[in-house]
């Protein structure tokens, strides 16, 4: 997809009253700071972690416009959807989540906030960089990740007024358009940004019953607003971000093994096209306080997601709507500066997730199956990482994580009029070391 950017964009009256006269800030794009490691650059863990950082220009040059295209620029990473964008299969250096869609081995973060597993595949908005940390990160992140961490870092508004329009087109009538405005609302105190994105990626699969020949694609609309309260000459700042994403898709389109190249759906005559609509609302409240030796971060984030999902399967029509709610709180303290004998990270973490699912399987003459399920899960964790710099060339480092997990689930339904159902609870305590 070819992209065209107009920068700066002279639009008056919204956040950027003086954008036409603003000077473009100069940045050294060859210097990249890994924010995902959450620790001093001198700590042993930071030096021993295998990581890759990709800048915004590199993402643009490679045509990376969504998270499932990140393998283009992140070696060893593989992201595929399992028939639709809700359930992704992620693998990194042999560690895979192919058997567990709801707890991927590699966790996706956006600005330090873990995303719902059903929101792993998402469009990229105003990205500054993407960071990949390989290997277990349980002593540095509240949400333990066995395979690694992908952290998408977005641009934060500051004193420099900015604005751009970005657009591009590709085959099968696909296109992408984006508008971004960012700058000071009150100089030296309050900053804001707005991003609007429309992204269409049509597919090429065929439903012979309806004549549709663009199935398998997605159409996403995203809006994002940020506010940053950061008074000059003060050691603290507070941020708030809110976004809404709605994506319509014609996925869950399946073909027979003997007709993969034909791209025709393997369904009975007269069945409709597959359809899915996912809407996700996200809110994040963050705070940071910096001293000469420490930096303290507090994040509280919420996500609400609901999706409708209908698709033909053989002679059946399947309808599977779901609702997700997740809230996350994390408090972290890390040492700051290079002239230290000991570097440390301490953190407390809480995550609560609630899921509600319904499903119906309809035959032409009867309802074959109906079911409903409810699941809750909560994680409480404390983690720490410490590095002792014995000499200029020799360090000793280690970390520990304590976590308590509990979950409950219940389901009920009927198959051909025969009822079924069950419920259960579980909890687990773990201690992990590094």
pLDDT digits (tens, 9 = 90+) for 150-192: 999 999 999 999 999 999 898 878 899 999 999 999 999 999 9
Distance between CA atoms of 272 and 253, rounded to whole angstroms? 11
pLDDT at 98: 58
CB 74 within 8 Å of CB 130: yes
Structural domains of the chain, with CATH? 2-19+33-433 (2.40.170.20)
pLDDT band per the 50, 70, 90 thresholds, residue 276: very high
pLDDT score at 267:
78
pLDDT in tens, 381-431: 999 989 898 888 888 888 899 999 999 999 999 999 899 999 999 999 999
Give the pLDDT mean for 276-289.
97
Q: State the Cα–Cα distance between residues 328 and 349, nearest whole angstrom.
A: 8
Percent of the chain with pLDDT over 90: 56
Average confidence (pLDDT) over 207-235: 93
In sequence order, what are the residues at sequence separation of 6 or more whose Cβ sits closer than 8 angstroms to the Cβ of residue 276? Answer: 84, 86, 248, 249, 250, 251, 252, 307, 308, 309, 310, 311
Alpha carbon distances (Å) from 119 to 186, 279, 414 = 34, 10, 30
* pLDDT tens digits, one per residue of 346-356: 999 999 999 99
Average pLDDT over residues 271-288: 95
Q: How confident is the model at residue 368 (pLDDT cuts 50, 70, 90)?
A: very high
**Closest by Cα among 158, 36, 48 to 108:** 36
Model confidence at 16: pLDDT above 60? no
Question: 277, 246 in Cβ contact below 8 A?
Answer: yes
Residue 102 has pLDDT above 80, yes or no: no
> Tell me, what's the pLDDT at 99?
62
Give one DSSP letter per residue of 271-323, joined into a string.
Answer: ----EEEEEEEEEEEEEEEE-SSEEEEEEEEEEEEEEEEEEEEBTEEEE--EE
Six-digit token pair at 397? Answer: 């480092």
Say what the pTM is.
0.85
C-alpha distance from residue 381 to each of 115, 303, 329 (Å): 17, 20, 11
Instruction: Provide the sign of the torsion angle of the four alpha carbons 338, 341, 343, 344, taken in this order.
Output: negative
Q: If you average pLDDT over residues 64-72, what whole number do you get? A: 93
Distance of CA 119 to the CA centre of its chain: 6
In angstroms, the CA 365 to CA 317 distance is: 11
44-60 core/surface letters (b: 16 or more CB in 10 A; e: else): bbbeebebebbbbeebb
Q: Distance (Å, rounded) from C-alpha 314 to C-alpha 268?
A: 6
Contact 68, 150 (CB under 8 A): no
Q: Residue 6 pLDDT > 50, yes or no? A: no
Distance between CA atoms of residues 411 and 376, nearest Å: 12
pLDDT more than 70, % of the chain: 88
- Would you say 434 and 138 are in contact if contact means Cβ atoms under 8 Å apart? yes
pLDDT of residue 24: 36
* Angle, CA 336 vertex, CA 335 and CA 339 arms, to 5°: 105
| CA–CA distance, 10 with 101 (Å, rounded to integer) | 44
Look at residue 23 and tell me whether its pLDDT is greater than 80: no
Mean pLDDT taken over the chain: 85
Work out whether the CA dihedral 41, 234, 114, 62 comes out positive or negative.
Answer: negative
Q: Is the dihedral of CA 253, 125, 220, 166 positive or negative?
A: negative
pLDDT band at residue 44 using 50, 70 and 90 as cut-offs: very low
Best CA proximity match to 114, nearest among 281, 301, 295 = 301
- Residue 40 CB partners (closer than 8 Å, separation 6+): 46, 334, 335, 336, 337, 338, 340, 343, 387
Per-residue pLDDT, averaged over 66-76, amounts to: 92
């Amino acid at each position: 997809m070819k992209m065209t950017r107009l920068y700066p964009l002279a639009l008056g009256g919204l956040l950027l009253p003086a954008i036409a006269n603003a000077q473009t800030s100069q940045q050294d794009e060859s210097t990249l700071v890994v924010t995902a490691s959450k620790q001093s650059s001198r700590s042993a863990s930071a030096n021993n972690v295998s990581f890759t950082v990709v800048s915004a220009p590199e993402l643009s040059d490679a045509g990376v416009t969504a998270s499932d295209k990140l393998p283009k620029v992140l070696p060893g990473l593989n992201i595929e959807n399992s028939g639709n964008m809700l359930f992704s299969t992620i693998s990194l250096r042999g560690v895979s989540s192919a058997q567990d869609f709801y707890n991927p081995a590699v966790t996706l973060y956006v600005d330090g906030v873990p995303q719902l597993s059903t929101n792993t595949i998402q469009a990229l908005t105003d990205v500054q960089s993407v960071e990949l940390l390989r290997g277990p990160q349980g002593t540095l992140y509240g949400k333990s990740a066995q395979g690694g961490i992908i952290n998408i870092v977005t641009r934060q508004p500051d004193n420099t007024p900015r604005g751009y329009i970005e657009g591009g087109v590709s085959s099968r009538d696909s296109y992408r358009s984006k508008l971004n405005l960012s700058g000071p609302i009150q100089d030296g105190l309050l900053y804001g940004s707005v991003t609007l994105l429309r992204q269409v990626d049509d597919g090429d699969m065929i439903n012979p019953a309806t004549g549709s020949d663009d199935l398998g694609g997605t159409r996403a609309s995203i809006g994002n607003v940020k506010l940053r309260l950061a008074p000059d000459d003060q050691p603290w700042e507070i941020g708030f971000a809110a976004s809404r994403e709605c994506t319509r898709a014609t996925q869950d389109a399946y073909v027979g093994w003997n007709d993969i190249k034909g791209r025709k759906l393997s369904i009975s005559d007269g069945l409709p096209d597959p359809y899915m609509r996912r809407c996700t609302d996200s809110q994040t409240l963050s705070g940071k306080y910096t001293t000469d030796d420490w930096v303290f971060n507090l994040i509280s984030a919420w996500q609400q997601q609901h999706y409708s999902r209908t698709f033909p399967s053989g002679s059946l029509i399947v309808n599977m709507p779901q609702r997700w709610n997740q809230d996350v709180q994390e408090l972290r303290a890390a040492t700051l500066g290079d002239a230290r004998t000991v570097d440390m990270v301490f953190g407390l973490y809480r995550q609560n997730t609630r899921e509600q699912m319904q499903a119906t399987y309809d035959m032409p003459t009867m309802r074959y199956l109906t079911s409903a399920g409810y699941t809750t899960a909560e994680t409480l964790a404390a983690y720490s990482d410490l590095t002792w710099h014995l000499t200029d060339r020799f360090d000793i480092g280690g970390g520990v994580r304590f976590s308590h997990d509990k979950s409950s689930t219940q389901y009920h339904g009927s198959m051909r009029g025969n009822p079924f159902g069950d419920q259960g609870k579980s909890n687990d305590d773990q201690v992990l070391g590094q």
